[in-house]
Structure 1
Amino acid sequence: MLGTASQVPTRLRAHNGYFLRWDREGILLDPGEGTQRQMLHAGLAAHDLTRICVTHFHGDHSLGLAGIIQRINLDAVPHPVTAHYPASGQPFFDRLRLATAYRETVRLREEPVERDGIVAKALDFTLTARRLAHPVDTFGYRLAEPDGRRMLPDRLKAAGISGPDVSRLQRDGELNGVRLEEVSEHRPGQVFAFIMDTGMCDAVHELAKGADLLVLESTFLAQDAALAAEAGHLTAGQAGEAARRAGARHLVLTHFSQRYTDPALFEAEARAAGFTGELTIAEDLTRVTVPRRR
């Protein structure tokens, strides 16, 4: 959690910024102003970045992009870095990318998001985006591993399968009359969901469904629900309800308005909405571990 404030930073909360370490991927999400310095405090380097995901082009979610791009080039990151962002915000992306003079040394792959659907696909994950409900074009992101099979040692032993034959069975689905389903069980792939500025909408539920780790904005408390609706934001209670409906395992609430000084109130509202899973009220520079596989 590099930054957890909303539009106005505070002495304790910087503008938005989130970094996800996922196997070989290092994904920087919504780099707001000051993200480059927060990365330094968190022990992160430009070389750690493989992707940048921007939900929308409001300043608290994107003004740090200029510095991040220049730092990637200054440090001559040896691998390509891919940027995902709303296609309608291309003029803003271009201005931030070329905000000042610098020497380009790195291939920055621009992959703007035009519509709901898959924005990146690899052997071990799929990254999808869904349009959210906010005054400007905004997308939430969902990273999901493919489902797999968990091998059951006792059943493998009973079937007389061991060593290299296990790999052959996984590859072919059957070996010597033994089917893969008979000696294994379904293993759901892990899911991470990232949902920033939005009012409640179907996309929130679809992105969050079954998430192992759900990072969700909760800008307001219930006492300001009318203001939240007007501005296209969620309350902590709405966030807790969405996480409950989605069956999320670990909910991280973030993007707090500067008008509130007691973080415990956000936890209380999310719990009152019925969410019983693990809950983190985000603070700058804290680390949250993706839950172990189910």
Structure 2
Amino acid sequence: MTHDTVEKTPLTLLGLGAMGTALARAWLAAGHPLTVWNRTPARAAALAAEGARVADSAAEAVAANTLVVVCLVDDASVDEALAGADLAGRDLVNLTTGTPAQARARADRTRERGARHLDGGIMAVPPMIGLPEAGGYVFHSGSRDLFERHRETLGVPAGTIYVGEDPGFASLYDVALLSAMYGMFAGVAHAFALIRKEDIDPAALAPLLADWLIAMAPSVHRTADHLRSGDYTEGVVSRLAMQVAGTPTFLSTAEQQGVSPELLSPYFALMRRRLAEGGGDEDLTGVIDLLVR
């Protein structure tokens, strides 16, 4: 063991699924002493060969180090894993995907058990972990002091972005970005469905589609400005009234191509509602207010 390795913060990782394993390998490669635990012990064998210490139980793993990172399948599995562990004095970083409410409740329970808490939302897939050039990062929220204390260690697998003291914010940012991603995937699915029965190579459409989505992406900044100012008509180049007038073309094209409009129709319905409320001179920002209950 080298001098540099000794100086690296030791930590514990609970959970060795695809993401947990990628995290573990990144910390091991960077020289961090690592204790791991997984419900299925066989998954830890490869990491043991790479230098990880394998604990027989989650409680044993938690006891091994002050910094404990959790990356399990869901909130219930975190409860189960930590049930018999002594958390007193531990720094718990929960990277398990969950809701903002679950993150806030987890933070409260963690503090009640004498530990400090930081929540995280991973914006990456396993192959991006440990590769800075891949652009993956992790949202963190909760104790800023705890984040600053472990910033360097937490930044080894992927970049870090601190989003606030509220423990639920990391999950909220995570789900917000992923929700936008699925909206994009829905549009892409509809676009490819439209050409599915035609003599058009999907590979020919793909670069045009990708470039168009990239060109439209900066519109999120204008939407944010509208929401901050409350003026949804400022700088509008495509009025809602004009866009609603064009929606029958999209629906008719789908029908003619034998494609279900179910991915488009709900959004078009919201656009019509906003227009009926007098938002014809706006862009599409007003649809957001219809979604907020």
Could you state the TM-score of these two structures normalised by the residue count of structure 1? 0.30
Larger radius of gyration: 2
Could you state the TM-score of these two structures normalised by the residue count of structure 2? 0.30
The structure with the largest strand share of the pair is: 1
The structure with the largest helix share of the pair is: 2
